[in-house]
A and B are shown apart, each in its own frame.
Chain A
């Protein structure tokens, strides 16, 4: 079965969109409580539907975010999925050579924030939504969105400062501190 001209076009712009936004969309899936593989499944479903569309949505990135949210909230997790979810890597971000323990702790802190807060943070920082757009999207007021964002960010900041403070306190005992730290950044 060959592709039509419109199918070819859809394939091309979907691919471009995927290259540009796939990682951020997976991150958003994770912010909604999915594991990495579950988030990948949801992203896959979204793109499969997107490729079948006769024309590109007006705002394809927003379309994907909305689609992922709808699918993620309806995602039924089997027992097997729940088990494998616990076993698979929990890291949300790529490893960076300059990444220190404070940063890893902050990453973990983001993952452990309440869903409402981490969702707003991910939408604001990695999807470049404004508070108005977040409010419209989540059907909350922009002030509520802003409040959730600030609360979440404050916790991450405290976490970062706490780790830094702890490191300063321990001073020469940094190695011991690192060894006893739980797997951070979701790793």
Chain B
């Protein structure tokens, strides 16, 4: 009699219970923590370093101007104050800027500035 009863297999709990207890999030967390805590910042640092040290490389199809990476990153010109004296001095010196069209006598416009016949 007891042997017969012993052969009855108690009904297994549902798989959902096992999942709730053991599958999530405990198994998932270490991998996720490793990814977020180490791999992600390291990847970001590596990308930043790579882009800074490769700023001199020219992009095919673009002009050969060698814009410094720092100037590109800090688009606000005030950041350039802190850069060394010789740094792109010419570009920031207004006296060196020549506005050609102001030196020309003629205007490209077909309309005269003042009507000449009606001066008085």
Contact = CB atoms under 8 A, between A and B. Distances in A.
| Secondary structure class of chain B's binding surface, majority of residues | helix
Contact of A93 (B2, B8, B29, B33): B8
Contacts of A125: 2, 5-6
Interface stretch (A20-28, A67-75, A131-139): A20-28
A94 B30 contact: no
B82 interface: no
Interface string A88-122: 00011110100000010011001000000000010
Given A125-B2, A153-B1, A107 B8 contact: yes
Interface stretch (A41-49, A54-62, A79-87, A176-184): A41-49
Contacts, number: 78
A92 B11 CA distance: 6
B17 interface: yes
B71 to A, nearest CB: 42
Contacts of B17: 22, 40, 43-44
B10 A93 contact: yes
A1 B33 CA distance: 7
Interface residues of A, number: 35
B12 A94 contact: yes
A92 B22 contact: no
A77 interface: no
A47 to B, nearest CB: 5
Nearest to B9: A94
A23 B9 contact: yes
A26 B14 CA distance: 10
B22 A18 contact: yes
Nearest to B21: A47
A148 to B, nearest CB: 15
Interface string A1-30: 111000000010011001000111011000
A63 interface: no
Given A39-B13, A94-B12, 6 more contacts: A11-B22, A18-B21, A22-B18, A23-B12, A106-B4, A153-B5
Interface of B: 1-2, 4-14, 17-18, 20-22, 26, 29-30, 33
20 contacts: A14-B22, A22-B17, A24-B10, A26-B11, A36-B11, A40-B14, A43-B13, A44-B20, A47-B21, A51-B21, A92-B10, A92-B11, A93-B10, A93-B11, A94-B9, A106-B4, A107-B8, A125-B6, A126-B10, A156-B1
The 5 closest A-B pairs by CB, nearest first: A27-B10, A23-B10, A94-B9, A93-B8, A40-B17
